[in-house]
Amino acid sequence: MAIERFHIHVSDELLDDLQYRLQHIRWPEQSENANWERGTELGYLQSLVSYWRDHYDWRAQESKLNGYAQYMCNIDDINVHFIHERGKGPSPLPIILTHGWPDSYLRYEKIIPLLTDPASFGGDPEDSFDVIVPSLPGFGFSGQPASPGINNFRVAGMWTKLMTALGYPTFAAAGGDMGSGVIRYLAANHPERLVGIHLTDVGIIRGLLNSKDSEDLTEEERQYKTKAAAWLSQESGYMSIQSTKPQTLAYGLSDSPAGLASWMIEKFRSWSDCEGDLSQLFSEDELLTHIMIYWVTNTIGSSAQMYYENSHSLPPLGRIDVPTGIALFQADVLLPPKQWVERNLNLARWTVMPRGGHFAAMEQPELLADDIRAFYRGLRSKL
């Protein structure tokens, strides 16, 4: 499998086209005092777009991103983009980090140095990692699948091929959101390759949600079922359309930068521990660079297709026996009941964080990196 260096360079024509679109947005009306209850608030989005149009510097961000060791390889006829940063320690443990939606491989940008070079941050060089961060197929700079069927199960198989090509017969893995699903299928289907897995969530537990006899559930599981039903009723509209009609959605979001920003920004606000104020956690440059990854690659449509594939073609996922660490961030979506996790995964570490939300690696990188290092400290001898 050929692995080639990759360098980001977006054409001037594409950036000029974006600038034109940002200057000619047709804004909708907003109900009086609607705030965020009905979706992305008009005033906030107009302010963000104004910054995007007049102050945001993609070339500066592009140069920064090109400071990482980036590569491209072809796996199962799909080009896979990934970062591969070597650890600075006596025996770095390879770890593959998998992102989700609506973020990108940049979800893990802040923790890469914390994992590759812990000594520079007051840690132990014995805890260093070789860090591999791929872009999911159909996301960012990875290729868009030409045929259907690329779901979490298939991506897990692709990741084993990637790690083999990089010379890692055994490795660690961590992920959240869609990345959690990929990593759990990786553990279920290729346990011999893993020293352990580290997760920040376990997705929506459909088995609990659909259980008919609540008397068989623990109190914590009953509470989860109630919260999950309410969340799905009020917050899962994005999931419903991306799981059923992603192509219809793609036309509008691929054509309108304001529409794309609105679709993504609402989730960063709703799922993070920002208390309704995005500026508490994220700079405008940080948010816009995530949005730009989707815009310059035109992958919002192909990323939504993963929701369709995961809801139509995923095989069942059984119990996972690979040692598992769970770090729960209190503002995340639908924290799982510990009893369910213990029944379905080989739970070796359970940490409830004092703060942070769904985008843990972006919001609280030090807390997450510390937990990953601590979890794998006792598992390194398996390598």
- Contact (CB, 8 A) for 42 and 30: yes
Q: Give the residues across from 97 on adjacent strands.
A: 174
Nearest to 125 by CA among 89, 87, 166, 173: 89
Q: How far is CA 166 from the centre of its chain?
A: 22
Chain segment 86-101, per-residue pLDDT in tens: 999 999 999 999 999 9
> Which of 185, 307, 308, 376 is the catalytic position?
307
Phi and psi angles of residue 367, each rounded to the nearest 5 degrees, phi first: -60, -45
- Classify the C-alpha dihedral 164-169-174-178 as positive or negative: positive
Q: Alpha-carbon dihedral of residues 279, 21, 144, 282, nearest 10 degrees? A: -10
Considering the entire predicted model, what is its pTM? 0.97
* 103-122: pLDDT as tens digits: 999 999 999 999 999 999 99
Quote the pLDDT of residue 148. 93
Flag whether pLDDT at 191 surpasses 80: yes
State yes or no: pLDDT of 198 exceeds 90. yes
**What confidence score (pLDDT) does residue 210 get?**
83
Computed on alpha carbons and rounded to an integer, the radius of gyration of the chain in Å comes to 20
Span between the terminal Cα atoms of the chain, in Å: 23
Which of 130, 273, 358, 376 is catalytic? The answer is: 358
State residue 383's pLDDT score. Answer: 66
Sequence letter at residue 350: W
DSSP 281-321: T--HHHHHHHHHHHHHHT-HHHHHHHHHHHHHSPPP---EE
Does the annotation mark 177 as catalytic? yes
pLDDT digits (tens, 9 = 90+) for 310-344: 999 999 999 999 999 999 999 999 999 999 999 99
Catalytic (active site) residue 16? no
Strand partners, 242: none
Across the strands, what pairs with 196?
Answer: 172
DSSP 160: H
Distance from C-alpha of 265 to C-alpha of 286, rounded to nearest angstrom? 11
285 is catalytic: no
Instruction: Mark 202-236 as b/e (b = at least 16 C-beta within 10 Å).
Output: bbbbeebbeeeeeeebeeebbebbeebeeeeeeee
SS3 state at 3: strand
Domains and CATH numbers, the chain: 3-23+39-382 (3.40.50.1820)
- Name the active-site residue from 103, 117, 177, 332: 177
